[in-house]
Structure 1
Amino acid sequence: MKPKKLHITIFCILLWSFSFAQQYTNYTTKDGLPSNHVYTILQDAQGFMWFLTDKGMVKYNGSNFTTFTTKDGLSNNDVWEAFTTPDGKIWYFSKASSLGYIKNDSVVSFPNSTRGEIINPTYSFQLGNDIYPMGTNKLYHLKNGTWKIFYTLKNITDDEDAYIHDYTKIFHENINYLKVHYKNEKFSIHDHDQKKLKEIYAKEILHKHTVRGQITDSLFFWTSNKMYSILNLNTLKFSSYNFKDEVGIEVVNYSRINLVGDQLQITGTGFVGFLDADLHIKNPFYFPSTLHAHFGFVDNLNTVWLSTFNKGIYKLPYLQQQIKYLFNEDKIQGFNVLNGELYANIFNKGIYKFDPLRKEFNEFIKVEEYIFSANEIEELGKNYFTTKTKIFIEHHNQLTTVDFNEGQKQSGILNSLARKFIFFEDYLYGNFSFGINKINTNDVSIEKEYIQKGTTDILTFKNRLLIATTNGLRELKNDSIHSIYFKNNTLDTSILNLTKITDQLLLINTDGFGSYLTNLETIQPLKGSEFLIVQDAFIEDKSLWLATNTGVLHFIKKDESYKLNRTYNQNDGLPNNNINSVYVNETDLIVATNSGLAILPKNQKKQSLLLDVFIKKASYNSETITTENNSFAYVNNNTLSVEVSRIDFSEDQHTSYTYKLEPIQKTWSTSVTNVFNFNDLQPNTYTLKIASNTIEKQISFTIKPLWWQTLWAKIGGIFLLLIGIVFTVWRISKKSQEKKNEKLLQEKQLSEIQLKALRSQMNPHFVFNSLAAIQYYINNNEIKASETYLVKFSKLIRQFFELSKETEINLEQEIKLIKNYLDIEKLRFKEKFEYQIHIDDLLNTKTNKIPTMLLQPIVENAVNHGIFNKMDNGKIDIYFKFIDEKNFQIEIVDDGVGVVNTQNKATKKVKSSNVLDDRLKYLNQSENWKIIYKTEELHPELTDKGNKSTFIITQL
């Protein structure tokens, strides 16, 4: 055998053996396939997998199988070939009179232009988005919605017609067709002028059953069961390769070459691989003959898919291709390390020892029963292997067996002796379900039994014998069992096992509450392991490896604490997520499960098999949302419903999504469902964003407001509301002001009435005094004086009655009234006083006004009280002074006896001076006048004190 062939053969055998140990996922009719008879497999532009069966085409997204049959529009359920084009179509080919494609889950079919004629597309091919079904002598293309004959192979003839068996149309700028001579095992290449460009001998490749076709615009291929050949249409170079030389397999049935993405994949029974730049097969993947697979396909995540004629589909992700699986479907109870070597306990098979060089487990002890553990006791130089009914003791490479039976009983309890052995204070100790046994090291007999129900594990730590139970941690102390209490917390949960990390740190693994770290004084949970079932642990330098019900958890020590670094689960190639035990060496992670054992690279990189997330269906009030139809009218109690799907070929699909509906949601929410519903959305433009892992998709739509919900309507509404508010406030204010004005008017009217009443009080007072004076003259027979007085009095009375109708008069009228009054009083007092009126030149007596008869009471008081009571003659001076255009001052000065009491003590009646105070009060309340009045004695120290009354008057 040639060296190259020998190398390939050995390589083939190794890979075949390695592949046989893989754990393929098998999909059959039980999982949703319409048939276990599968022709080929392909992957479309989106990433969906397609399986072609004899009972329809199947689309697979990693969780659901969608089958298309004649019921959906296929012309035939027996579909053996298909092509995916960059425009997202999946073209299907079968023996039928109509062919077509599937896109967006809709089947489109086009008939043969020759009605009823069957198209038998045996040698079809694809160039870009163009598909050309080709039979033995006709080539079709799609034109105006029908399949029309593009090229009839029998139309070409020449002198060598007897030797021509076949013509093949070529789509190339320089080549028109290939002319095949089967008898001479050669073919010739012809240009568009039918000129022969080259003739090539192709022995053993040209025959009727050869699969052939143009695979790219520059390559044409042939495959048989022993070899494959490729013609470069640009260089006219022809190359042939034997499968035996390339992959070590002499006969490859159903061989074919496919263009997948931008790579050429070649497959057949036994392998699938790629063609390199020199057209040699690289990276072949061998699948076991026991699967009877005839076709292999490597998808864009390097997952291998295999099709069979009777077992459906097999799948092997790329990560699992690097993993070695042993003891498939066997229960691996756990691992133990003795003298630096690894042992595996396999239920009903025995104890197996690991060979690290070959990465195999070899049988060490065969025993068909439940196996508890294997323990190394350094102090005795012995290894103990315990099972349900036996103990195997290895000493100096000699193996002895100890049997025990139901005859061995202590306290009426069946003693299984020990599930685990430890050495403590010169004795062996072993645990069983109801406690621990103190065991003689010589004959393995029980010396004492300590009852502790629910015992699960024992361990020596800090020179103390610790006991793990289903209700916390205990210890054997002073020949009895005691509970262990911690300073900072209590631990009364079910403990599965104990693992010593260092001489000062212990790991406690529980049943459903994670792991805890303790030095037996304080205890703290191992963050990242909460609520997990931790069934075993492995300590590696500064790392912790936990075997849990969710996979293997790897913790790394950082800053004196342990941080979760990574989780290994089914998506990383583990047989399942329920891990019984774990072991780690320099290169590998070895896990034990109830369905076998797996050896995988410790530093294996994670690979996500999630290809895409897409919005499958979106509707607003049952109306579909699309790119073209994304604007809707607002409806009360509306509903937005969005269904999301994904292309995910992960083994362990714990699907979750994060989402937010902008602009009403600012933060992301998490959901484990793939349907999102929102109710009663208000008019706005929305964007729903949905993400899973690193893939994010979104859909935008607009809810158009009704006329009354538009911005202008809202502005108009607000404007009208403001107008309404302003109008209402104005009306209320107006009403309030009207009430206030009415009240003021009433008060004003009341004030005027009161002023008139006050004036009416002053008039009789003055008249009484004047009449008294006239009577005085008559009684004294002073007729002439009485007549003069009476004339002046009548003139004053007439003047008074005329002015009493007015509320205000100018200063000129007031001055005349005062002069007339003083003249009368002067007559009455027989010239006992003099008076003088002083008017400021700046003061306009015609325009400046004063309330009617405001000064008269003061002048009267000066005369009747100040001057009248004086022994000598008196004098009255009245000053009218200018202050400014609106203000003036009036001073009434007399040299009489001073201020007198204005109230009659006997009758309590108010005199005219008191009436003035009331009048001034009402005048100021009327808001027409501002009058300040004050009076003062000029010479308080003298008998004739004198008096000055001052008015400061402002007309408002």
Structure 2
Amino acid sequence: MTDGLPSNIVYDIYEDSRGMVWLATDAGLYEFIGEEILFRKELSRLQGERINSICEDKSGNLWLGAQGVGLCKFNGKKLSVFKLEATVPENDIECLVIDSIGENLVLGSSAGVFIYKVQNEDLQPVNSSWRKPVFKIRSYQNNFIVNTVAQEENIEFEIESRKLSECNSNSNLPAVKFGIQNNIIELKNILESGKQFTLEINATKKIFCDVVEMESNKNSSFYLLRYFDKEAEKQKVVKLSNTILSDFSTEKGLDEYFIHSIFLRKGFDDLWIGTHNHGLIQLQNSIFKYLDSSLLGIKNSNLQDLLCDESGNVVLVSEKELILLKDTQVQSRLSVNDFCSKYSSVVNCNNDFLIYKLGVDKEKLIWISTSVGFFTYEPNQHELRFVGISPANSFVFTEDDELLCFWQNKLSFYTKKGLLSQKPIFEFPKLANIGISKMIARDTAIWISTRQKGIIQFKNNEFRIFNKSNSKIHNVLNDILLLPDSTLVAGGNNGLIYKIKSKSNALVVVDSLTSVNGLVGTSIHGIKYLSDGSLWCGTNLGVYRFDYSSWAKNSELKLNFWNSKDGYFDQAGEQSVIDENQNIWVKTKNRLLKIETGIEKRRLFKSKIRIQSIEISNQAWEPDSTQVENWTQTPIAPIIFKYNENDITFTFGIDFCQNVSNVRFRYLLDGFDNKWSNWSNSSEAVFSHLPSGEYTLKVEGKHLSEGITIPFSVAITVQTPWWKMWWFIALSSLILCGIIYVAMWIYAYFIRKREKARTKQFNRVIGLKMRSLQNQLDPHFIFNSLNSIQSFILEENKEYALGYLSDFSNVLRKKIENANKDFISLSDEIAYLQLYLKLEQMRFSNKFSYKINVNSAINPYKLKLPPMLIQPFLENSIRYGIAGLKTNGNLQVNFEIEKDGYLRCIIIDNGIGRKEAKKLHLDSNIKCHHKTMTITKDRIKLLNKVLSNGRVYDYTIKDLENEEGCSRGTEVEIGFPKK
């Protein structure tokens, strides 16, 4: 009851067709899911009542025999109670089973056996003349076996004929005994047919039994026997495995328990027992088998070491004794007196004699280190011999068959004859109190793990120490192991398992296992490598097995883990060895542990992941009855949530899991997540602000002790909010279309109004262009040009005069042509600018040079721009910048284009600059030019209002200066939006 049972009396354990397990107690009917007892509110009518028996019909309904209530039916939603005739008292239904052929119930009571026809609720006795109290009913082949209360007889009957037959307990009962059975078929027939039999407990004790329950799986069958001892009813569970019948109750210490029911869940090996006043007992089929010191005959003495010899024997020593085991049975033992008699001629035997370690040399002879020196032991001949040499707390045989011994903080080499070797001696400080945890010799190297100094290596006749200071290896090491690929595996008390490589007289940690890889516990010990490529080790919290091939960076480690709930109760394991069957034997403080590593022999059951609960915004989700499965109370897929139920927490678990702490989960919401979550012992999946849509929740559960991964998926739908439904969208679209129509009408009205204003502004632009044309044909330019022509004529330079006159006429013609156009091509603009610059160059007697550059990305024939916007800026550069130079001038015109088609014209001259120009030209000419620039600015403003497409017409003027701050010219940048 301290674990959640409503009562410590369990009358029946039943698994229905859905895989749900039910417990019949004297406090009601409850669902059992492995580590938790669930109460169903629909069964509240039976809470506190005694439930004697459970069965299920073909429709999946549960039928219950409830003391003081009557016959009950539960369909997952509703509990129905049926009133029976007076022939069967309502408080006296002891057992019931289903007739699978006729869909009728067979009831057992104090008044005999009855048939209850479900369809017409008719109750009839099987035999009206037979009215004896019934204890149990079970089906066998086509018949039913009835056990009476007083065990006076067994009854066998058929449903159709309603016949009963009795068998007296004193007439020629068959005999059954424990041990190997020669005729297994005959034995099973005796146990399962319902006949009474005689069971031989031992040579002097026999009991009369009948079988009241039986449970079977692939490997074994269990039978619950009933017998009477001095008129007291008792039970015994026997186990039939292969051809061996064993007393399971005695083996498991159950002889004093009153057992009501036994149960094997489908696909599981663990036997569950319902008792009277002792609750529910689980007998786990574990890979861990223990031999206590008391069973081995060891008293008040700790186990020291163990090994497996070539004959498959396990040899172990305590401080005062050597024991030889074969299949967990003690074959022989040597006491301290046997050891003392072998060296009594050398030294006196006293209570200080202690046994430390075991080892094997190349001749497979067992060596035993003690406080007085070494002994050898030959198991087959049972021969013990004293060798001497030196005492040793620990030792190892080298490749050249010498002994490296550790004694009193000193490492020394000896020959088998007891001579000190020529190899060096390594001595620790006297006050260091060094502890050696493991010594390994292979090839030319010896590896020693210590509990204070890390790893000591002996190689090339030299000792080296590797630890945290030089190799990032923990100083405290409980165990090391050298693998076939020469990799060292080590573990200490820091929760790490190191993978170490030896490289150029150094040790390099190439990887390590931590809690991130699933390692639980801090103290590592007992590292073993098996022939199947698996690594085993113990921690202070359990036992690990993982595939060594999967231990690599950026790969998932394949592992198993067992803790106390899986049968591993002793976390103080130290030394361990592997026997010929690849089982691991572990020496703990006061007992011996055998680990049967063949995990393929373990159960491989099909467990399922189920959703235990759902929370919305930290509140329990309350679905209606149509969204939940009747029996399991789990949501029916697809799970549908409202649009505002999008902060969801799912809690899931594995059904009938007895070790929840050994389960890891990860999840992915397909359609929302991009990758799986990390493996975690948390069983929750949390999603916040989940958008509307259809998803699939995928969950994987990994049961570490079973080494299986269980998949699960369920469809999830978050409903679309009403404002995103089709009818709302359609209605909104109609309203929007109406609004758009009205808005477009209003917009068109304002467009027409704006076009009138734009036409007015455009006409103003045309006027400004004409004014600009007139201003550009200023009399100074014409006068200066005509003077230049006259000068060429007077100088009789007719060719220059004619050329200048021709160019002058072309400039005037271009001005007039372009003045009548809103936009011209860049090609035409460049042609005009070239004529203008050539004319100005001739007029100024080639005082300046010019160059026009066009970016290769520009097509000058397709690009359009307003005419005569660039010329005023060129005229400004020549008249007021270059004209004031005492040296020749230079003028550059560059055209660049941006990605969006924005054209930039950059004019650069090396003139005197704007400040000097103002000083030199304080006359009407500059005032006239200022008027020209004012008109140009007005043109740009109007163009931005009438003709721009997002970018604007613009210009900037920047003075250029040299490093001394003196003017070195002017830069003008003019911008033209794409036409």
Q: TM-score, with normalisation over the residues of structure 2?
A: 0.55
For the pair shown, the structure with the greater C-alpha radius of gyration is 1
Give the distance between the partners of 1:317 and 1:375, measured in 2 at CA: 35
Partner of 1:431: 406
The residue that corresponds to 2:910 in the other structure is: none
| Coordinate RMSD, CA, aligned | 6.5
Match of 1:474 in 2: 456
CA contact (8 A) 1:497 1:535 kept: yes
Give the 5 Å matches for 1:760-839: none
Q: Does 1:516 align with 2:484?
A: no
CA deviation after TM superposition for structure 1 residue 678, in Å: 1.8
CA contact (8 A) 1:333 1:592 kept: no
Q: Is the 8 A contact 2:397 2:404 kept in 1?
A: yes
SS at match of 1:628: helix
Secondary structure class of the residue paired with 1:611: coil
The structural deviation recorded for 1:420 is: 0.3
User: 1:297-696 counterparts in 2 under 5 A?
Assistant: 297-300=263-266, 301-318=268-285, 325-327=290-292, 334-337=305-308, 343=314, 345=316, 350-355=321-326, 360=330, 363-365=333-335, 372-376=356-360, 383-386=367-370, 393-394=375-376, 397-398=383-384, 418-422=392-396, 429-431=404-406, 436=411, 449-451=427-429, 454-456=434-436, 457-463=438-444, 466-469=447-450, 470-475=452-457, 482-483=464-465, 491-499=473-481, 508-511=490-493, 512-519=495-502, 521=504, 523=507, 534-538=524-528, 545-549=535-539, 550-551=542-543, 553=545, 567=560, 569=562, 579-592=573-586, 594=588, 596-598=592-594, 600=596, 602=598, 604-608=600-604, 611-620=607-616, 622-625=620-623, 628-629=626-627, 634-636=642-644, 638-650=646-658, 653-669=661-677, 670-692=679-701, 693-696=708-711
What is the one-letter code of the residue matched to 1:676? A
Note the C-alpha offset of 1:498.
4.2
Give the alignment partner of residue 204 of structure 1, picking from 149, 158, 168: 168
Q: Which amino acid aligns with 1:306?
A: I
Q: Which amino acid aligns with 2:449?
A: A
With over 3 angstroms needed to count, the CA separation of the structure-2 counterparts of 1:203 and 1:134, relative to structure 1, is: closer
Task: State the distance in 1 between where 2:823 and 2:440 align.
Answer: 107
Query: 8 Å contact 1:328–1:597 — kept in the other structure?
Result: no
Give the 3 Å change call, closer, same or farther, for CA 296–266 of structure 1 in structure 2: same
3-state SS of paired residue (1:743): helix
**1:126 maps to which of 94, 98, 102:** 98
In 1, are the aligned partners of 2:112 and 2:132 still within 8 Å (CA)? no
Q: 1:256 aligns with which of 209, 212, 227?
A: 212
Q: Distance in 1 between matches of 2:222 and 2:308?
A: 45
Q: Is the 8 A contact 2:583 2:595 kept in 1?
A: yes
Please give the alpha-carbon distance, in whole angstroms, between the structure 1 residues aligned to 2:211 and 2:154: 21
Which segment is superposed worse, 719-728 or 62-71? 719-728
The answer to whether the Cα contact below 8 Å between 2:303 and 2:319 also exists between their aligned partners in 1 is no
* Partners of 2:453 and 2:467 within 8 A in 1: no
1:664: how far off? 1.2
Q: Distance in 2 between matches of 1:625 and 1:327?
A: 54
The answer (yes or no) to whether the contact 2:544–2:560 under 8 Å persists in 1 is yes
> Which whole-Å CA distance do the structure 2 matches of 1:591 and 1:917 have between them?
109
Match of 1:802 in 2: none
Q: Secondary structure at the match of 1:747?
A: helix
Distance (whole Å) between structure 2 residues aligned to residue 434 and residue 723 of structure 1: 96
1:74 paired to 2:46: yes
Which residue matches 1:271?
237
Q: Give the Cα–Cα distance (whole angstroms) in 2 for the partners of residues 539 and 169 of structure 1.
A: 52
Q: 1:112 — aligned with what?
A: 83
Partner SS, residue 746 of structure 1: helix
8 Å contact kept, 2:361–2:397: yes
User: How far has the Cα of 1:304 moved from its partner?
Assistant: 2.0
Q: SS where residue 94 of structure 1 aligns?
A: strand
**Structure 2 match to 1:745:** 763
CA shift, 1:683, in A, is: 1.8
**1-structure distance, mates of 2:137, 2:365:** 81
The alpha carbon displacement at 1:121 in A equals: 0.9
Shift of 1:681: 1.7
Q: What amino acid is the match of 1:612?
A: K
Give the 3 Å change call, closer, same or farther, for CA 187–491 of structure 1 in structure 2.
closer
Aligned counterparts of 2:244 and 2:533: Cα–Cα separation in 1: 35
Distance change in 2, residues 1:560/1:615 (3 Å): closer
Distance in 2 separating the partners of 1:448 and 1:754? 107
Counterpart AA for 1:42: Y
Distance in 1 (alpha carbons) for counterparts of 2:244 and 2:767 = 117
Q: 1:61 offset after TM fit, Å? A: 1.8
Given that residues 76 and 95 in structure 1 are in contact (C-alpha distance below 8 angstroms), is that contact kept between their aligned partners in structure 2? no
Q: Distance in 1 between matches of 2:647 and 2:56?
A: 37
User: Paired residue for 2:846?
Assistant: none
Q: CA deviation at 1:120?
A: 1.0
The amino acid that maps onto 2:686 is N
Deviations 1:380-417 (A, max 9, x none): 9772244xx7767346834669999xxxxxxxxxxxx6
List per-residue Cα deviations over 1:600-621 (Å, max 9, x = no partner).
3647434345632222233556
Aligned to 1:83: 55
The question of whether the paired residues in 1 share the 8 Å contact of 2:270 and 2:283 is answered with yes
Unaligned runs of 5+ residues in structure 2 are 172-188, 226-234, 296-301, 337-350, 628-637, 702-707, 780-801, 833-979
Equivalent residue for 1:5?
none
Q: Secondary structure at the match of 2:46?
A: coil
SS in 1 for 2:93: coil
Q: Which secondary structure state, in structure 1, belongs to the residue aligned with residue 67 of structure 2?
A: coil
For 2:44 and 2:319, locate their aligned partners in 1 and report how far apart those are by CA, in whole Å: 51
CA distance in 1, matches of 2:159, 2:316: 71
Q: Give the residue type in structure 2 aligned to 1:494.
A: V
CA, structure 1 residues 66+921, in 2 after alignment: closer, same or farther (shift >3 Å)? closer
Q: CA deviation at 1:319?
A: 5.8
Distance 1:72 1:431, change over 3 A: farther
- Residue 709 of structure 1: aligned partner: 724
- The alpha-carbon deviation at position 661 of structure 1 amounts to 1.9
**Alignment match, 1:214:** none
* Secondary structure of residue in 1 paired with 2:766: helix
- Describe the SS at the equivalent of 1:687: strand
Partner of 1:891: none
Does the C-alpha gap of structure 1 residues 377 and 302 become closer, same or farther in structure 2, counting only changes over 3 Å?
closer
Query: SS at the partner of 1:296?
Result: strand
Q: Is the 8 A contact 1:47 1:611 kept in 2?
A: no
Distance 2:41 2:758 in 1: 91
Report the more deviating stretch, 252-261 or 700-709: 252-261
**Can you list the C-alpha shifts for 1:796-834, whole angstroms capped at 9, x where unaligned?**
xxxxxxxxxxxxxxxxxxxxxxxxxxxxxxxxxxxxxxx
Paired with 2:404 and 2:804, the residues of 1 have a C-alpha distance of: 129
Q: Which residue of 1 aligns with 2:792?
A: none
Deviation at 1:497, TM superposition (A): 3.5
| 1:119 to 1:283, Cα distance in 2 relative to 1, 3 A | farther
Identity of paired residues, percent?
13
Structure 1 unaligned segments of length 5 or more: list them. Answer: 1-28, 208-225, 231-238, 276-280, 405-416, 762-897, 903-909, 934-956
Q: Cα 1:140–1:641, aligned 2, differ >3 Å: closer, same or farther?
A: farther
Q: Deviations over 1:307-351 (max 9, x none)?
A: 33344333334565xx75422899866533567775555778854
Residue 82 and residue 725 in structure 1: after superposition, are their counterparts in 2 closer, same or farther (change >3 A)?
Answer: same
For residue 150 of structure 1, the aligned residue among 120, 123, 127 is 123
